[in-house]
Chain A
Amino acid sequence: MIGKYNLVVRNKRLVYDITLERKYTIIRGDSGTGKTELCRFLSQGEKLGVQVTSSINYVVPNSVDAAISLMQNRNNYLIVLDEDVIFQFDRDIFIQSLKKSNNYFLLVTRLKLDELPYSVKEIYELRGEKYNRLQYKNEMISRFSESI
Chain B
Amino acid sequence: MTRKDVRRDVQINLDDINAGQYSIDAINDSIQDCYDDIACKTLFLVKSTTVNLIGSCYYDFKALGILDYLGTIAVLNNNTNMFLQDNVSLKELDYIRWDWELWRGQPIFWCPHSLDKIVIGPQMESPIGSFKLFYFAQAPRLSDDVTNIIIADDVQTAFEHYCTADQLEIASEYKKAVGFWVQYNNSVTEYKRRTQVISVSDYVARV
Asked if A pairs with B, the answer is: no
